[in-house]
Structure 1
Amino acid sequence: MGCGTSFVKYVLFFFNLLVALLGLAVIGIGVAFHLNWTAVKEELNTRLTVAPWLFIIVGSIMFIIAFFGCCGAIRESHCMVVTYAIFLLVIIIVQVVIAVLMFVYGDTIQTNLDNSIASLFTKRTSAGVDKATDAVINSIQQQFECCGKDSATTEYGLIGLPASCCPPNSLACTPANAFDGCRPVITKLYNKWNKPIAGVAIGVACIEVVGALFALCLANSIRNMDRRSRY
């Protein structure tokens, strides 16, 4: 058998069961973001609104690939296992490319993020702005615990700060207890997680390479058993 078909089969099955659950979790994150941040997505730059759909698509692909892996391993189907290995190799390449782009073009992504935030606050100060923009800004300030484009005082002055600029239990919202500006807060958050996320993507790709090797090994064992059964 070469690889120990039974051992490889069950290792591959449990590996893909874990991947399937992870895929469902990623889909859940994308759906939650899509449902809870509708107003924010409508106001932010279009290039940044693809995030929830990206999560949903990636999670769906992960689940479909894991399905082929689980079924192929349990049924010992050469075709399904080979299909799974091909899909997995493709997704590995995509993950590595995305991770490299995050490392190389991190500054460009950060610039687009800064411009989107600045554009949102600029839109609110323009004439004829609707209440939806105010609601979006208040939501961002609450979610990210930030205040104003660059700071509370430059955006709102010394008085008239919205309640979203301060912690929920504050008796009064003043510049003394207001959050930092949204651009520096979100930029700091992006810089904190950009490279770790890219690193995790590469790490997961390395684990998936092991899964692809197990799949190819199992496919070879299944083919050899089929050949022996014919003679």
Structure 2
Amino acid sequence: MDCGGVLVKYILFVFNILFVVCGLLLIIFGSLMVSNIGEIPNTPESIQANSVPIVILVLGCIIFVIAFLGCCGAIRENACCTMTYSVIMLTLFICQLALVIFIWQQRVQILDKMDDVIEKIWDQRHTDQKVMDAMQISFKCCGKNGFTDYTLAGEAIPPSCCEVSATSCTAIEAITRPGCVRAFTNFWENSINIIRYAGLGVAGVELVAFIFGCCLANQMRNRHRRTHY
């Protein structure tokens, strides 16, 4: 393999190390989203919001595994393995770009649906307070729009509006907690920004890896032809 081919080989190897890191970061980020959104019950309105972190988690696992395929193909100089890796990278690039565009376009609709879900959880707190408590603990929020939702309804502020270990909670302690609608909105908007910029960044790296993979596979095939002629 000439100097250009060797350079492409090691650049592709470095890109795959980056992919391993990206895959791990996506797995961690997806897991954190699952741990937060997992407290919200599955309903037709919440299915999109609940599905997003699972898709990110699966995507991170796929990228992590594919990175090893690329490393093996580059180091072992296997043209078939490297070309397969390139095709998978192109597929991942298209799917990830479509996912980022879809989430960005649907962000407002998902938020509107989640407002309805939080409204239902609030209305059902008398029959199932555990769900409301779990959401208040997970998002560090209190009530639908704030602790005043409880005081205006003539109800005691639940301990879940304060620290996890608290056995009671007062208005003074809960005053710093936002309402759950606002807390989820902040969580979702922050997550969407991370998904958008990280997704586009990883997609760009995938496109470059696809190009370098094709170049390396072509170099390997050309060397194989020269060897047999």
The structural deviation recorded for 1:43 is: 5.3
Deviation sequence 1:1-25 (CA, Å, 0-9, x none): 6771222212212321331243244
1:97 maps to 98
Deviation sequence 1:53-83 (CA, Å, 0-9, x none): 3233212211232122111101111111111
TM-score normalized by the length of structure 1: 0.83
Aligned to 1:98, the other structure's residue is in SS state: helix
AA matched with 1:75: R
1:202 maps to 200
Structure 1 contact 3–221 (Cα < 8 Å) conserved? no
Deviation sequence 1:21-58 (CA, Å, 0-9, x none): 43244335555766x56972545633333345323321
The structural deviation recorded for 1:137 is: 2.2
2:144 maps to 149
CA distance in 2, matches of 1:134, 1:72: 54
The structural deviation recorded for 1:161 is: 0.8
CA distance in 2, matches of 1:94, 1:77: 26
The structural deviation recorded for 1:144 is: 1.5
1:22 maps to 22
User: Structure 1's 230 and 43: CA in aligned 2 closer, same or farther, altered over 3 A?
Assistant: closer
Structural mapping, 1:59-70, within 5 Å: 59-70=60-71
CA distance in 2, matches of 1:153, 1:59: 41
CA distance in 1, matches of 2:199, 2:141: 29
User: Structure 1's 88 and 4: CA in aligned 2 closer, same or farther, altered over 3 A?
Assistant: same
CA distance in 2, matches of 1:51, 1:226: 44
Structure 1 contact 81–219 (Cα < 8 Å) conserved? yes
TM-score normalized by the length of structure 2: 0.83
User: Structure 1's 54 and 68: CA in aligned 2 closer, same or farther, altered over 3 A?
Assistant: same
Choose from 173, 176, 186 the match for 1:177.
173
2:225 maps to 227
Structure 1 contact 149–155 (Cα < 8 Å) conserved? no
Kindly, what percent of the aligned residue pairs are identical?
Answer: 33
CA distance in 2, matches of 1:143, 1:205: 31
CA distance in 2, matches of 1:109, 1:118: 14
1:9 maps to 9
Q: Which is worse superposed, 50-59 or 66-75? A: 50-59
Structure 2 contact 27–60 (Cα < 8 Å) conserved? yes
Aligned to 2:124, the other structure's residue is in SS state: helix
AA matched with 2:171: P
Aligned to 1:20, the other structure's residue is in SS state: helix
AA matched with 1:182: C
Deviation sequence 1:172-231 (CA, Å, 0-9, x none): 622233112100121123223323421221122112211111111111111110111011
CA distance in 1, matches of 2:157, 2:141: 12
Q: What is the alpha-carbon root mean square deviation over aligned residues?
A: 2.8
Number of residue equivalences:
224
CA distance in 2, matches of 1:66, 1:86: 13
Q: Within the alignment, does 1:71 sit opposite 2:66 as a pair?
A: no
